[in-house]
Chains A and B, each alone.
Chain A
Amino acid sequence: MSLKAEEDHLVAEALKGAPYAWESLVRRYEGRVYNFGLRLTGSESDALDLMQEVFIGVYRNLHRFRSESMFSTWLFRIAHNKAIDLMRKNKPHLERSLSDMEGDDVLPPPLVEEEQPLEQLISKQQNAKIRTFLDSLSWEQKLLVELKVFQSHTFEDIAELENISINTVKTRFYTALRKLKKLLESSHDL
């Protein structure tokens, strides 16, 4: 059974009220959604809130899912919308507009290290640096980098999702890359 057929089956079973099917779908995507939220919000509690909101949205709209598209594509469309809702409505302090970011090359202070296993600590430190770099981008740029680099969406998909032209998407992406490169240089991390 292909991945799509398997997921379509799980969706059908979850719609019938089978708890195992729903849990199986959640377990498949919770990690991706949580880390998506972690990179976007930069906060574990916000990422957890976002993930829960996403899965509540997915569950409530499960009957609207059409098997013409991939379940993951449909799920991340909801995740994208929930992330925008979270940033614009519940967490306005997290949103930084493009105008706010002009000439802003100063890196935020490093995160405080906690007592954790070494591998996990290294991994967390690495992620923390990446989050710091991402946090220096505007909300629009950060979401764009997330969709392109981490979610591997095409420019066309992103344009449709963001309701902007492909050229605007490409221009914003290029600007974001230049900004990240500049920040990496300034932190001597290249």
Chain B
Amino acid sequence: MTCERSSEIVVGLFDDQIGKSERAEFEVHVQGCADCQAQVDDARLVQARLIAWQDEPVPSWRRSAMVVPQQESVAWQQRLAFWRWAPLACSFLLAVGVILNVEFRSTTEGFVVAFGQSTGVSREEVREQLTALATSFESRREEESLRMIETVLGNVMRQYDDNNSRNLEQVIEYFDLQRQQDLQLLQSGYQQLADSDYDTIRSVQQLASYVQYQGLQ
């Protein structure tokens, strides 16, 4: 005859979490139940048979084999992890630079980093530099103009008056004379061009007549 509580009783023997009273109740039941007694004895024998296991020595193996590769991989992961954030860090720095209006300038005194809005001094400096450049340019142009006028006047004076009695009327007369000569040269040039064109037309007409004459014959 099999007791219905056999499994509960046998498993209860291996359960470390059952209370003292429950264990005592199991023991009382086992003493009065031959089937449970037999099963408990069998279970204890099986347990004794199993725990007779003698731990076998571990074959030799490299205990730290996994240590070195992992340290290397961790190091690589750390390096990669650092570079993974590099673009974000650059973007952040750029954004901060834009927000704070950071300005990098290279001046004659060296490299200058400025924060906030551009200072009035720098703009003033730029304006001064531009003004100085413009002034220098203008003065150079004036000097060149004066030199040219002096050269022209010198030539005029040498041609028309080597004496000390130089006057403006003579200069004007010289310029007027030069202008008239230029006009004459221009007119003669046009005339030559017109004559040349006329000769060309006449040559073409002669050629046409000749061709017509040849055609009639």
Contacts and interface: CB of A to CB of B under 8 A. Distances in A.
**Could you tell me the dominant secondary structure of chain A's interface residues?**
helix
A60 B71 CA distance: 10
Interface of A: 17, 19, 22-23, 26-27, 30-32, 34-35, 38-39, 44, 48, 51-52, 55-56, 59-60, 123-124, 126-127, 130, 133-134, 145, 148-150, 152, 154-156, 170-171, 173-174, 177, 180-181, 184, 189-190
Contacts of A51: 58, 61
Contacts of A52: 61, 65-66
A5 B10 CA distance: 37
A26 B43 contact: no
Contacts of A156: 17
A171 B8 CA distance: 9
B216 interface: no
B162 interface: no
B22 to A, nearest CB: 14
A154 B17 contact: yes
Nearest to B15: A155
A98 to B, nearest CB: 17
B50 A31 contact: no
Which interface residue of B15, B66, B70 has the most chain A CB atoms within 10 A? Answer: B66
B66 A55 contact: yes
B42 A22 contact: no
Nearest to A173: B11
B63 interface: yes
Given A17-B71, A123-B56, A148 B14 contact: yes
B55 interface: yes
7 cross-chain pairs, A with B, having the tightest CB-CB distances, nearest first: A123-B54, A181-B42, A174-B7, A26-B63, A34-B58, A56-B66, A170-B11
